Amino acid sequence: MLVSRESMPAYVAPFCVYVGSMVLERVFRMDGAWPYALRCGFTIAALAVFSRRTISFTLRKPFLSAAVGLAVFLVWVAPDQLWHIRHHWLFENGLTGAAESSVPIALRRNAAFLALRVAGSALLVPIVEELFWRGWLMRWLIAARFETVPLGTYSRLAFWLTAAVFASEHGPYWEVGLVAGIAYNWWIVRTRSLGDCILAHAVTNLALGLFVIGFSQWQYWL
């Protein structure tokens, strides 16, 4: 049976594979280059199997989407760089964890791993997350038959609950994760285009990855 364009696995399965792989890595303390490569490989396979008929890269506002992504990046790093707030108890605690990098010191000079990590963050993660958060969850919170809800449909509950859960995914960076969630949610409401949200998210992650490597700010890569 073929996966339809609007089936739940197309939006949810790649995210579950990515997050599930990451959880297993942490449970079994696998922090080398190959576990990350396997995570990316499994996720790409899930996208190929479940989502190939669903993903749309059609862009309506490419330049503005890139600008949104860059703005989110600036919001992500500015508070820490200006006021050094990250180690405050509000952000680092037993619930959120600490802003400590998952990248082993030995890999921070490994060009192949760094290239893979940037590519995964900028090319793979935005597709997986936008399918899940904006493509599925925002619509599913409006109606269980989410496929009947057009992309970008606004509902106060769906908008803010999606942003809040998205924020919780980012641990000690929850407050900038909330800003990012609001920005991406707002952008899909404005554009009704998953491709534009993927581009905005990709620009954010690419800029953050280059910042992490260029300025040795490894704490942003949890």
Per-residue pLDDT 10s for the chain (222 aa) are 333 457 999 999 999 999 999 999 989 988 889 999 999 999 999 999 999 988 888 999 999 999 999 999 999 999 999 999 999 999 999 999 999 998 999 999 999 999 999 999 999 999 999 999 999 999 999 999 999 999 999 999 999 999 999 999 999 999 999 999 999 999 999 999 999 999 999 999 999 999 999 999 999 999
User: Rounded to whole angstroms, how far apart are CA atoms 78 and 24?
Assistant: 32
Give me the half-sphere count of Cα atoms (radius 13 Å) on the Cβ side of residue 151: 22
Question: Which amino acid belongs to residue 184?
Answer: Y
Question: Given this model, what pLDDT does residue 5 score?
Answer: 55
CA dist 143 to 136, 147, 149, 189, Å? 10, 9, 7, 16
Domain ranges of the chain: 56-220
Tell me which residue has tokens 């696995």.
9
Kindly state the DSSP code that residue 29 receives in the 8-state scheme: T
Q: What is the pTM of this model?
A: 0.95
Question: Which amino acid belongs to residue 27?
Answer: V
Task: Provide CB contacts within 8 A for 164, sequence distance 6+.
Answer: 178, 181
Q: Which two tokens stand for residue 102?
A: 């998952």
User: Rounded to whole angstroms, how far apart are CA atoms 91 and 95?
Assistant: 9
Longest dimension (CA), the chain: 55
Q: Which two tokens stand for residue 42?
A: 């499994």
Nearest to residue 19, comparing CAs of 42, 48, 49?
Answer: 42
- DSSP secondary structure string for all residues of 191-205: H--HHHHHHHHHHHH
Rg (CA), the chain: 17
Asked if residue 184 lies in contact with residue 134, where contact means CB atoms within 8 angstroms, the answer is: yes
- DSSP secondary structure string for all residues of 58-119: --SSHHHHHHHHHHHHHHHHHHHHHH--TTSTTTSBTTTB-----S-GGGTT-HHHHHHHHH
Helix (H) or strand (E) holding 144, with range, is none
